[in-house]
Amino acid sequence: MEKVKLEIIGLSYSQTQSGAYALVLSEAGGKRRLPIIIGGFEAQAIAIELEKMTPTRPLTHDLFKSFAVAFSIQVKEVVIYNLVEGIFYSKIVCEREGQITEIDARTSDAIAIGVRFNCPVYTFESILASAGILLDENSPDNDFNFGEEEEEEKEETTEELSIQELETQLNTALENEDYELASKLRDLINKKTS
């Protein structure tokens, strides 16, 4: 079977499952989207790396990367290889001294590790055909937001704060390891200073 390359296009709070997030992957060069429900911790781990934030202490996925690098293990790719009763199955393809090893992993963990190694994510046509969502031509790429209204309400209350107050909240969020909030505050600070 031929693999289809995917790209991460968004992470949004899921209104369908409490405390969960939707990781939205896009078919490279195509119009199909693959939404995957993941936990809050994994969503934070992915967002931290995508936003190039540095946590005060290494997260589990950072520890995995440090371990792999220390033992000359390269993560080559992440493959979402199966879908059974709404659950995606993935593997991390690693290489060490020319030997390829495939490690079974939850999709959320595999992608959190994959983004740290800047490696590609793939799936198969059969998975995209059964779980993918085809966007029509009039739909913009970023129209796949869960909980958009909730985000706008939070942004309105923080937009009234000064840059210094926002930076204080950002530092507190980083100290409390609330990287999702830290990411939003950083974006708001950047918006106000540009």
Residue 15 confidence class, pLDDT cut points 50, 70, 90 = low
pTM: 0.72
pLDDT (average), residues 77-99: 96
Residue 153 confidence class, pLDDT cut points 50, 70, 90 = very low
Between helices 179-193 and 40-50, what is the axis angle to 10°? Answer: 40
Token representation of residue 102 = 């495939």
pLDDT value at residue 105 = 97
Q: Tell me, what amino acid is at 171?
A: N
- Name the CATH superfamily housing domain 3-146: Bifunctional nuclease domain (3.10.690.10)
Residue 162 confidence class, pLDDT cut points 50, 70, 90 = confident
Phi, psi of 38 (to 5 degrees): -130, 165
Place of tokens 């507190």: 172
Q: Which residue has the higher pLDDT, 148 or 121?
A: 121
d(CA 186, CA 26): 25
d(CA 194, CA 191): 6
Contacts within 8 Å (CB) and 24+ apart, 63-69: 64/113, 64/116, 65/113, 65/116, 65/117, 68/94, 68/117
Q: How far is CA 1 from CA 4, 63, 82, 90, 122, in A?
A: 10, 33, 12, 15, 12
Residue boundaries of the structural domains of the chain: 3-146, 149-193
- For the cut 90, the answer to whether the pLDDT of residue 150 exceeds it is no
d(CA 121, CA 110): 9
- Which 8-state DSSP code applies to residue 28? T
d(CA 1, CA 119): 20
Residue 190 confidence class, pLDDT cut points 50, 70, 90 = confident
Residue 98 confidence class, pLDDT cut points 50, 70, 90 = very high
